[in-house]
Amino acid sequence: MIQEEPASAFDSLLRWLHPDRDQAGATYEQLRIKLVRFFEHYGCWYAEDCTDETLQRVAQKIAAGVEVSASDPYIYCRGVARNVMLEQWRQQEKAPAAIDELPPQHHPAVHPDEVELRRQERLRRERLLECLDRCLRALPPDHRQLFLDYHQDEQRAKIDHRALLAEQLGIDITALRNRLARLRKKIEACAAECARQRE
């Protein structure tokens, strides 16, 4: 089982991906998707585990101060992923060939049809996220910024931030909520139409 990297290593990885934390999070998700596909393409048994291991190693290297010269984070991560993949292949070669000989923890836990359904669902979600991103970028800059500002922070900080946002706009919190509800409907409709066109 892969252990989670310390928060500081993960924070270092996010800072390396992009100075803006939201953009870094989006880049991280895209990077993770690419790495899972990389492992799946080369027939790794545990593509998601290998992806987590790769990102953990990269995070630890970045936190340790390793200088990375690659212009695209994926290029560097793919190099680390190759090493992880080679290790995985060596483990697979040592594994028994017949399913009956596999230890219980290596028995297939999911029917192949279920794997395909999950893959299709993952692709659908990826398309929808790409469409959401596209629809957000298509908004006028002030609307996009309002939408992003409204959805930042968590719990009490979010409530305080929204009250401040309403005050800055010169409206009450109910009017702000209504404005965001209309904006959200517009974005959702745009994303749904975009996803339909890409099916």
pLDDT digits (tens, 9 = 90+) for 129-143: 888 888 988 999 999
Place of tokens 């928060």: 7
Q: 44 with 128, same domain?
A: no
Residue 112, token pair as written in the block: 């192949």
Kind and range of the H or E run holding 3: none
Q: How large is the average pLDDT for residues 42-71?
A: 87
pLDDT in tens, 75-124: 999 999 999 988 887 776 665 556 565 555 555 666 677 778 888 888 88
Dmax (CA) for the chain in angstroms is 70
Q: Same domain, yes or no, for 38 and 130? A: no
Do 51 and 81 lie in one domain? The reply is: yes
If asked whether residues 47 and 116 sit together in one domain, one would say no
Q: Which domain-ending residue is among 60, 78, 109?
A: 109
Q: Judge if 42 and 136 occupy the same domain.
A: no
- The whole-angstrom separation of Cα 82 and Cα 191 is 35
The helix (run of H) or strand (run of E) holding residue 185 is helix 173-198
18 has a pLDDT exceeding 80: yes
Domain boundary residue, one of 109, 133, 161: 109
What is residue 129's predicted lDDT score, i.e. its pLDDT?
A: 85
- Specify the number of domains making up the chain: 2
